[in-house]
Structure 1
Amino acid sequence: MSLAQSVLAVNNDLPIRTDRPVHSGKVRSVYWLTEADSRRLIEEKGYDVAPDAPLAIMVISDRISAFDCIWHGEDGLNGVPGKGAALNAISNHWFGLFREKGLADSHIVDIPHPFVWIVQKARPVMIEAICRQYITGSMWRAYTKGEREFCGITLPEGLQKDQKLPELLMTPSTKGILRGIPGVPEADDVNITRANIADNFEAFGFRSEADIAQYEKLLKEGFGVISDALAELDQVFVDTKFEFGYVTDASGNEKLIYMDEVGTPDSSRIWDGPAYRDGKVIEKSKEGFRQLLLNHFPDPDILLNKERMDEREALARDNALPTEVLMDVSRTYLGIAEKVVGHKIELSENPKAEIIEILRDQYGLID
């Protein structure tokens, strides 16, 4: 089987029984199970969820997105070998560690295959919960332009690029376009303050004002757990994005949980520790791919300027990246995943066939 065939680039065409359209995001596709299948699996497998909780099959892909576009390589390579398995393995590891340490559960109720999660429907909090331990990326770009206030937090003068911040910063932004919230522009990924959230907690999806403190606690504690574990591997946890939502367990208790993915090279910046101490930044995350794209194309403003989205989409569509670029990303993702989980990530030659067989034979979800 060729390299291109071993990559799971299309993940929205699996014959999973569903009575709703498949939702396909940049990387994952979501198949909502029928009510009958959800109830059957909850009973058969003993999941700790309400008996009528809607369940979904979430299938990751090897696609790579950056600057809100999907990128592809030469010779039909439409993804990064090993990327999907690496992302899920890392998230599974951190979610398990969060549970062990008594932080909070996640939306995942079962992991049938390295590419697949069975998740329960959560009521999302409409916040991209971002934590920053170092000044870099968009914050550094804004800082160099003279901005000193971020999400209601004032930064001191004299910070240097990539240095550790005086304290861990929570710099939330909106998830999606939220309308009718005083002081919050109606646009995606808009920075917001804690005061914005406290004054309009219901509009952001919080059940109570007290839950804002709980989300902040889970954000800080989750960041700390990952940061400490990576430090033991001599890796630097720079910044990350968490997402939260509400679910109801089998006893009828509503609880705030982690959802989406956590601590992955897609949602975080991770740096190599020894290189950082030598004054160099070696990215162990998608940031390295972003920087490569900025250097690869003659006009990087296309990638950074939201007003030029049409040009950006054309750039991604019309330019096949060199195979070695995607293989370099593959080595980065698999390398950090294997450090985190402590063993080699075994890759399938035909993940789609494996997924179909497991979901048919062990879960009865394919006719």
Structure 2
Amino acid sequence: MSIADSILSVNNDLPIRTDLPVHSGKVRSVYWLTAQDSRRLIEEKSYPVPSDTPLAIMVISDRISAFDCIWHGEGGMLGVPGKGAALNAISNHWFKLFKQQGLADSHILDIPHPFVWIVQKAKPVLIEAICRQYITGSMWRAYEKGERDFCGIQLEEGLSQDSKLTNLLMTPSTKGILKGIPNVPEADDVNITRQNILDNYLAFNFENQSDVSLYENLLTEGFALISQNLAELGQVFVDTKFEFGYVKDLDGNNKLIYMDEVGTPDSSRIWDAQQYAQGRVVENSKEGFRQLLLSHFPDPDILLNKNRMPERQKLATDNALPPEVLMQVAKTYVDIAEKITGQTLTMSKNPKAEIIQILKKNYQLID
């Protein structure tokens, strides 16, 4: 079996029983279970949620996105081997640690397979919650051009690229296009201020205003916990994106939880600490792949300029990357996953067949 066969690139065509269309994102696909199957699994598996809670199967893929495009390799490599399993293993590790440390729960109820989560329905908070401990990436590019105001926070003069910031910065942006919010442009991924959120907390899906402080606490405490653990592994936690939502607890009360993924190479920048101490940045996250793309193509502005999206999509569609590039990305993901979890990553030879077998035999979700 070839490497291409072991890559799960298409994950929205599994024969899972559902009455609703499959929702497919850049990396994950979500299958909403029928009310009957949800109720049955809650009872059979003793999930700690109300019996009428909608459940979903969330299947990760090995696709790799960067600059809002999906990239592929030569020889039918439609993703990065091991990437999906690595992302899930890392998220599982941090979610478990957050719960143990009393921070907050996640949306995950069960992990049937390294590529699969069973989750409860959450009402997402419409914020990309971004934390930054170092000035790099888009923030550095903007700072270099003279910007000093980031999400209502004033940065001091004289900062240098990749340097550590005095304080951990929370620089939230919108999740999706939000309409009718004063002082917030109607576009995806727009930077917003803390005051924007406080003044319009209901529009961002917060239940009450005090939960804005709770989300900030969960953000900073979650960041600190991951940062401390990574430091012990010789890694620098540079910046990350968290997502939050509300779910029902066993008594039917709403509680704020972590959702999506946390502390992964897709949602974070992670640097090698020893190299950084010597003045070099060595990426152990997707940022390394982004930098590679920027140097690979003659006109990097296509990748950085949102106004050139059609050209960028064409670039991603028309250009198959060399297999060694994707194998290097695979090594980055697998190595950091094994470092964080302390376990060897289980690699599937045919993940789709395995998932179908497990969901059919152990969960009766496939006819």
Q: Give the TM-score band, short-chain normalised.
A: over 0.9
Aligned twin of 1:318 = 318
Q: C-alpha separation between the residues in 2 aligned to 1:53 and 1:282? A: 44
Aligned partner of 2:357 in structure 1 is 357
* Alignment partner, residue 84 of structure 2: 84
Distance 1:171 1:315 in 2: 30
Q: Shift in Å at residue 346 of structure 1?
A: 1.7
AA aligned to 1:183 is N
Distance in 2 between residues matched to 1:53 and 1:148, nearest whole Å = 45
- Residue 348 of structure 2 corresponds to 348
1:11 counterpart residue number:
11
- In the other structure, the counterpart of 2:242 is 242
Q: Encode CA deviations 1:142-162: one digit per residue, 9 max, x unaligned.
A: 100111110010011111100
| Aligned residue identity for 1:255 | K
- Distance in 1 between the 2:273 and 2:299 partners? 32
What is the deviation of 1:48?
1.0
Runs of 4+ residues over 6 Å off in structure 1: none
Residue 251 of structure 1 and its aligned partner are, at CA, apart by 1.4
Structure 1: gaps of 5 or more residues: none
Q: Distance in 2 between matches of 1:109 and 1:41?
A: 11
Structure 1 SS opposite 2:303? helix
CA displacement at 1:252 relative to structure 2: 1.4
Secondary structure at the counterpart of residue 356 of structure 1? helix
**What number of residue pairs does the alignment pair up?**
367
* 2:70 counterpart residue number: 70
Deviations 1:14-45 (A, max 9, x none): 11000111111110010000000000001111
- Distance in 1 (CA, whole Å) between partners of 2:13 and 2:125 is 29
Post-superposition Cα deviations, 1:279-331, rounded to whole Å, max 9, x if no partner, equal: 00000000000000000000111111111111100000000000000000000
Aligned to 1:129: 129
Structure 2 unpaired stretches of 5+: none
The 2-side partners of 1:10 and 1:188 are apart by 25
How far has the Cα of 1:220 moved from its partner? 0.4
Equivalent runs, 1:31-70 vs 2, <5 Å: 31-70=31-70
Once the two structures are superposed, residues 152-176 of structure 1 have per-residue CA deviations (whole angstroms, 9 ceiling, x without a partner) of 1001111110010000000000000
Deviation of the 1:253 alpha carbon: 1.9
Rounded to whole Å, the distance in 2 between the matches of 1:138 and 1:227 is 21
The alpha carbon displacement at 1:193 in A equals: 0.3
CA displacement at 1:4 relative to structure 2: 0.3
Distance 2:38 2:290 in 1: 39
2:331 maps to a residue whose letter is: R
Distance in 2 (CA, whole Å) between partners of 1:181 and 1:223 is: 28
Residues 236-258 of structure 1, C-alpha deviations (whole Å, 9 max, x = no match): 00000000000001111210000
**Which residue of structure 2 lines up, in the alignment, with residue 177 of structure 1?**
177
| Structure 1 CA distance for aligned equivalents of residues 285 and 78 of structure 2 | 19
- Indicate the residue corresponding to 1:149 in structure 2: 149
Give the distance between the partners of 1:201 and 1:70, measured in 2 at CA: 33
Partner SS state of residue 347, structure 1: coil
Aligned positions of 1:295-306 closer than 5 A: 295-306=295-306
Secondary structure at the residue paired with 1:256? strand
SS of 1:4's equivalent?
Answer: helix
- Counterparts of 1:239 and 1:366, CA distance in 2: 40
CA distance in 1, matches of 2:142, 2:10: 37
The C-alpha deviation readout for 1:83-119, integer Å capped at 9, x for no partner, is 0000000000000000000000001010000000001
**What SS does the corresponding residue of 1:78 show, helix, strand or coil?**
coil
Alpha-carbon offset, residue 56 of structure 1: 0.4
CA distance in 2, matches of 1:54, 1:73: 37
Secondary structure of 2:320 counterpart:
coil
Write the distance in 1 (CA, Å) between the matches of 2:346 and 2:361: 22
* CA distance, structure 1, for counterparts of residue 40 and residue 27 of structure 2: 28
| Distance in structure 1 (CA, Å) of the matches to 2:24 and 2:173 | 23
CA distance in 2, matches of 1:170, 1:247: 24
Name the aligned partner's letter for residue 124 of structure 2.
Answer: P
